Structure 1
Amino acid sequence: MGWHAAGRGEDPASVVRVAASLEMFVAFALIHDDIMDDSVSRRGRPAVHRALRARLGHSERAGRLGAGGALLVGNLALIWAQELLHTAELDAERHRAVHGLYDAMLEEVMYGQYLDVMGTGRSDDDVEAALEIIRYKTATATVERPLQLGAAVAGTDAATLDICTALGIPLGEAFQMRDDLLDVFGSTDGACAPGLGDLREGKRTVLLALGLQAADAGQRQRLRHLVGRADLDEDGAAEVRTILASTGARARTEDMIASRYGQVLRVLKSAGFPRPASNALHRLAVTATRYTS
């Protein structure tokens, strides 16, 4: 989409290879993310570390070795991502631009993951700290940098890269906030069931920060007692959901998503992108803010 938005280049082969590199980068990031969260599944199948653990039977070392094997698989995906990036045939100027953006994306994701890991289990009401995790861990690598990379392959200017940032950061934030809502509450259409993952982990989300801000003393005590417990059951999760809804945290998170969606539409309206690219980005904005599974 960034390549189309920037007016496209002469040959799509280069942007396809950069896009393929991004797919391998995402595979790396998800495999490592699942290790850190000890996620059970990914895209309807066992997470890589869980699949490798199962191969090792009931050994006491199975968990550690499965995680170690998945770490290496993730590293291999990152190596392949770099190899694919180097196969894109770019002139010297576009090569510098693309590789500079890609390196920045790698650094941002690592920093975001670090903030996420170190912030897990810290139940506080700092909304800006929760947003910082989203920006570095999700928004840059999910929307902003991929758009910029496509535009850079097309040989764009700094103004177009700035527009990609103005689109990508709010859209990436909205995407993650929607994911956080779905993890706790599920979707109204039943496509996604309420989960326990983020609540048991004690993820530092905007939703939880807003809930702690608005909660009374008793509600705040219950949230801090329940969220982050590995043994949290459905009854405890239901109590957390009730508090997050009654304090208005759920509704305020929805408002923040809607606000960012509106911001993206305003940027798109003034961006001057070719109509097909603008229409595609609008559809992406709808999908990223309203998906249900």
Structure 2
Amino acid sequence: MPAPVRPARDVPADGRAFVAAVDAALDAFLRAEGENLAGIVADGRHLTDAIASLSSGGKRMRASLCYWGYSAVAEAAPVDVVQAGLALELFQTAALIHDDVIDRSDTRRSVPSVHRRFEAMHAERGWALDGGHFGVSAAVLAGDLCLSFSEQVFGSLGPAAASGTRARLVFDRMRMEVLTGQYLDVLEEVAGPDRDPAEAVARARTVSSYKSARYSVERPLVLGAALAGADTDLVHALSAAGLPLGEAFQLRDDVLGVFGDPALTGKPAGDDLREGKRTVLIGLARQHAPADDVAHLEDRLGRPDLDAADVARLRAILTESGALRRTEELITQLHGQALAAIEHLPVPERVRTALTDLADRAVSRQA
């Protein structure tokens, strides 16, 4: 049966009210789906419990951008923008679950990642066979279920999200870009050491663009506007603001992945180094560090057993080579491009103010 078309709600009066509405919708949706799974078999609720645990700590940035893109066009509600935000948050949760499996990450938001959660369940209950394999398998399925939930919710928006509409094209392309970017990321980890260092930064920026930059900012912003009926000129203007901001956001994430405070990021110090991430930081170091330092970086990058001293030495290479400084300069440059584009958007002043604030917080955040 097709998903029921939900009646549109009034657009929440401000960003905080919208985030609260998305939080409530997410909680209600996962409780209802947990009941559905429990109706099949009681153990089915393990999946929605894991999804709910991870999704409860989100900032709702993508949903918020969807809201402000929508508010750039409409004050009335031709579709339920809260449900659109919910669809984005479910997709984000799915991406995080799968990303943690790929990266072998133990924690997310200061709690065990979903595959570690299932692995711990296996150990606590004394189940048979390999607990690590069970954890990964269950997490992959939880992520896939979350992807299904995201599509289910987006489809419930009705004609505005139907096949062939601008909103549907944006939503589908966003998902394709993220999955392609994830593949390019893991490909670069294994193939990057043998590729031309002169092209490392360009390759890292390509990965960043498709894995995160477009999906974190540009696509949610444009999706909201498309659902509200934006014309082509506004869509292009929002893209021009969203894409540089999305890249700046991801570059800040890369810096935090190496230099961030674990108490704030919720992940161990230097986790991106242990995972072997070929970020812009790493590309710049390969281009500008002395040969001995580059050799040391290549030897240690991607080793899961890096200790505090190893992390400190790699951080020193990234700092002394100028890689950190150049990355910060690039963040500043991209942030400036985004602010200039926001300033010229033909949108209500409250939308421009909100987007400027989001842009500032995206690049200055510590987590």
Q: TM-score range by the shorter chain?
A: over 0.9
Change (3 A) 1:165 1:246: same
Matched, 1:153 2:227: yes
**Runs of 4+ that moved beyond 2 A:** 89-95, 121-125, 189-194
Contact 2:78 2:228 in 1 (8 A): no
Matched, 1:38 2:104: yes
Matched, 1:112 2:186: no
Q: How far apart, CA to CA, are the structure 1 residues paired with 2:129 and 2:204? A: 36
Residue segments in structure 1 that go unaligned for 5+ positions in a row: none
Percent pairwise identity: 39
Change (3 A) 1:26 1:53: same
Structure 2 counterpart of 1:51, from 94, 117, 131: 117
Structure 1 counterpart of 2:131, from 62, 66, 71: 62
Using the TM superposition, name which of 146-155 and 216-225 deviates more: 216-225
TM-score (norm 2): 0.75
Please give the root-mean-square deviation of Cα atoms over the aligned residues, in Å. Answer: 2.0
Contact 2:161 2:168 in 1 (8 A): no
SS in 2 for 1:231: coil
Matched, 1:165 2:239: yes
Q: How far apart, CA to CA, are the structure 1 residues paired with 2:293 and 2:222? A: 43
Q: Which amino acid aligns with 2:114?
A: V
Partner residue in 2 for 1:98: 167
Change (3 A) 1:9 1:86: farther
SS in 2 for 1:106: helix
User: What pairs with 1:232-251 in structure 2 (closer than 5 Å)?
Assistant: 232-251=306-325
Per-residue deviation, 1:143: 0.7
Contact 1:9 1:154 in 2 (8 A): no
Q: Which has the higher contact order (CA 8 A, sep 6+)?
A: 1
Partner residue in 2 for 1:4: 71
Contact 1:109 1:137 in 2 (8 A): yes
Task: Number of aligned residue pairs: give it.
Answer: 291
Contact 2:91 2:147 in 1 (8 A): yes
Residue segments in structure 2 that go unaligned for 5+ positions in a row: 1-67
User: What pairs with 1:1-293 in structure 2 (closer than 5 Å)?
Assistant: 1-5=68-72, 7-8=73-74, 10-11=76-77, 13-57=79-123, 61-91=130-160, 96-121=165-190, 122-123=192-193, 125=197, 126-186=200-260, 191-192=264-265, 195-293=269-367
Per-residue deviation, 1:9: 5.2
Q: How far apart, CA to CA, are the structure 2 residues paired with 1:238 and 1:284? A: 32
TM-score (norm 1): 0.94
Q: How far apart, CA to CA, are the structure 2 residues paired with 1:174 and 1:90? A: 34
Contact 2:238 2:345 in 1 (8 A): no
Q: How far apart, CA to CA, are the structure 2 residues paired with 1:39 and 1:286? A: 28
